[in-house]
Amino acid sequence: MSGCKPVAKPIKPRGKYKKEKGKIVDKGVYHRLVGKLVYLSHTRLDNAFAVSLVCQYMHNPLEEHLEAVYRVLRYLKKTPGIWLLFKKYEERGVEAFTDADWVGSVEDRRSTTGYCTKIWGNLVTWRSKKQPVVAQSTAEALLRALAQGVCELIWIKRILE
């Protein structure tokens, strides 16, 4: 991938991937590449969602899924200096940010919840996960994401106490 063309985003905007209809690729190659990306996503939050997306197709990877993995690799080539950095800040607060992608999955119509938390200005936890049920509206999906973010804040508060 050293001679590849870098891209600005790890996944295609509005990229929707299907589980069926396509040429199946070598599972071993796919598993190894995705496994390395999972390991890397522990320090590269910017590609965590893209990695979770390609992980959904581990059992039956198609060409379009492998292309999505290659796109993440091309994104990593464009952004080599991005990593988590912890600094000393004067502010001693705890913050959480939440969001949801209503009906983000084409197959099962489930929404995706995402949240991250900061302690004293430093990012300490983050998560992107499909919601367990189908949300009936954008508001419902956002409220479920908010509830997950509040649960994370309660957990952090208990640890800090």
Structure confidence by residue, pLDDT tens digits, 14-23: 566 666 677 8
Domain boundary among 23, 57, 84: 84
Q: Is the model more confident about 18 or about 54?
A: 54
Give the residue carrying structure tokens 């991005």.
82
- Extract the tokens encoding 157: 């508060």
What does pTM read for this prediction? 0.68
Position 9 in a domain? yes
Q: Contacts for 21-24 with beta carbons within 8 Å, 24 or more apart?
A: 21/62, 22/62, 22/63, 22/64, 23/62, 23/63, 24/60, 24/61, 24/62
Per-residue model confidence (pLDDT) at position 19: 65
Q: Residue 150: which domain range?
A: 94-160
- Do 99 and 147 lie in one domain? The reply is yes
Domain boundary among 84, 117, 142: 84
Domain boundary among 84, 103, 118: 84
> With b meaning 16 or more CB within 10 Å and e meaning fewer, what string describes 31-58?
eebbeebeebbeebeebbbbbbbbeebe
- On the CB side of 33, CA atoms within 13 Å amount to 22
CB 22 within 8 A of CB 64: yes
Query: In terms of Cα–Cα distance, which of 86, 94, 99 is closest to 158?
Result: 94
Overall domain count for the chain: 2
Position 89 in a domain? no
CA distance 161 to 72: 39
Give residue-wise pLDDT tens across range 67-118: 999 999 999 998 887 777 778 888 788 999 999 988 777 778 889 888 999 9
Rounded to the nearest integer, the mean pLDDT of the chain is 86
- Do 30 and 69 lie in one domain? The reply is yes
